Amino acid sequence: MLVGELSLLVVLATACEGPESFLDTAGPAAEEIAGLWWIMFALGLGVYAVVMGFVAVPIWRRWRRRRGPPSDERDLIVERRFLGGVIGGSIVILFSLYLVAAPVLVSTSPSGQDHQDITVDVIGRQFWWEVRYPDHDVITANEIHIPAGRTVRFRITSGDVIHAFWIPRLHGKVDMTPGHTTELVVTADEPGHYRGRCTEYCGIAHAQMILHVYAHEPGEFEEWMEELADEPETDGQDEGRAVFASHCAACHTVRGDFPSSPVGPDLSDFALRQKLASGVVDNDRENLRRWILDPHDVKPGAAMPATRLERDDLEALLDYLESLR
Ligand code: CUA
């Protein structure tokens, strides 16, 4: 009992705020889900109190019986009433849960909402996120930019195993299933940074499959998209480009320089990203150096192999990557 109460306190203390708290809602869908959660939580507390009562009553009666004569017939009647109460109570509770949950299921489902301002395709991969903006002809990775206050329709699938897509402050969790597309309609009320993560165990780096979502003012969002859609200016980066060609281009795309290599993340806007290795570390030169030389030190389980490079080649490659914006 004590363990139960302690874990409840821990849940309450940790769940109410923080970048991944579904109770700290930032959009209409998350708000409805959190509202439902509080109702279920209150009901759960009630059930907990009743069950504890059920435990206390027999203890009390056993204690009382010790002091008086046994009364088998009365016990039987009480037990039957007890059982009737448990069955009846359970039916009422489950049915009322259904009654409060059904409208939330309907209103947060994408099928009820035929309007969207933009569409974003997200494809789960071991262990990163491919992000496509079909309206803007942009392919990127691991960071999603959306306009605040606008309706975003996510079309979610997987390129390998089952992952799950969850941005707790914006919406509920959905599976990313290979060969099947699931939709999610999301609105972020305010501009800001929202964190998401993979919530289905998908392999060794599952816990490091982190997603960063940035909601911008609508005008700023269009500027972002234009910047992402532009080909990077890599003039004067010939050395780095040559290193990229021999070590990286088999797996990574750079618009303009190295088209269509579908294995790893598209790097056309690499220098605009805040994070490296699917949200694990900051995108700075030191981390990038570590990542290229030994990805598994930064993120065990990453598919990218370690690259052996001479010092000058490595620095030229870093210059080239840092010019991709
Ligand atoms: Cu992808 Cu867990």
Are 309 and 290 within 8 A, CB to CB? no
| DSSP-assigned beta bridge partners for residue 304 | none
Are 129 and 94 within 8 A, CB to CB? no
Asked if residue 202 has its Cβ within 6 Å of ligand 1, the reply is yes
Nearest CA, atom 1, ligand 1: 163
* Tokens 């964190």, residue located: 195
Give the contacts of 92 (CB within 8 A, at least 6 positions apart): none
Separation between Cα atoms, residue 117 and residue 296, nearest integer Å: 39
Instruction: Sort strands 174-176 and 163-166 into parallel, antiparallel or unpaired.
Output: antiparallel
* Predicted pLDDT at 70: 59
Give the contacts of 5 (CB within 8 A, at least 6 positions apart): none
Separation between Cα atoms, residue 117 and residue 153, nearest integer Å: 8
Asked if residue 178 has its Cβ within 6 Å of ligand 1, the reply is no
Asked if residue 122 has its Cβ within 6 Å of ligand 1, the reply is no
Q: How far is CA 305 from the centre of its chain?
A: 26
Are 22 and 30 within 8 A, CB to CB? yes
Instruction: Sort strands 138-141 and 128-133 into parallel, antiparallel or unpaired.
Output: antiparallel
Beta strands in 142-259 (DSSP E): 143-147, 152-158, 163-166, 174-176, 182-186, 192-198, 210-216
3-class secondary-structure state, position 212: strand
Separation between Cα atoms, residue 176 and residue 224, nearest integer Å: 26
Q: Which atom of ligand 1 is nearest to the CA of 201?
A: 2
Question: pLDDT per residue over 203-256, tens digit each?
Answer: 999 999 999 999 999 899 999 999 888 888 888 889 999 999 999 999 999 988
The H-or-E segment that residue 73 falls in is helix 72-108
Question: pLDDT per residue over 67-76, tens digit each?
Answer: 666 566 777 7
Q: Confidence class of residue 104 from pLDDT cuts 50, 70 and 90?
A: very high
Say how many Å lie between the CA of residue 298 and the centre of ligand 1: 17
Asked if residue 163 has its Cβ within 6 Å of ligand 1, the reply is yes
Q: Is the peptide bond before 165 cis (omega within 30 degrees of 0)?
A: no
Q: Which atom of ligand 1 is nearest to the CA of 163?
A: 1
Give the contacts of 14 (CB within 8 A, at least 6 positions apart): 21
Say how many Å lie between the CA of residue 110 and the centre of ligand 1: 23
Separation between Cα atoms, residue 50 and residue 307, nearest integer Å: 62
Separation between Cα atoms, residue 272 and residue 283, nearest integer Å: 9
Residue 65 pLDDT greater than 80, yes or no:
no
Q: In sequence order, what DSSP letters do the residues of 26-55 get, joined into one string?
A: -SHHHHHHHHHHHHHHHHHHHHHHHHHHHH
Question: pLDDT per residue over 24-45, tens digit each?
Answer: 898 999 999 999 999 999 999 9
Q: Compute φ and ψ for 239, nearest 5 degrees.
A: -60, -50
| DSSP-assigned beta bridge partners for residue 210 | 197
Question: pLDDT per residue over 265-300, tens digit each?
Answer: 999 999 999 999 988 899 999 999 999 999 999 999
Single-letter amino acid, residue 302: A
* Predicted pLDDT at 95: 93
* Predicted pLDDT at 279: 85
* 85 vs 243, higher pLDDT: 243
3-class secondary-structure state, position 122: strand
Instruction: Sort strands 118-125 and 128-133 into parallel, antiparallel or unpaired.
Output: antiparallel
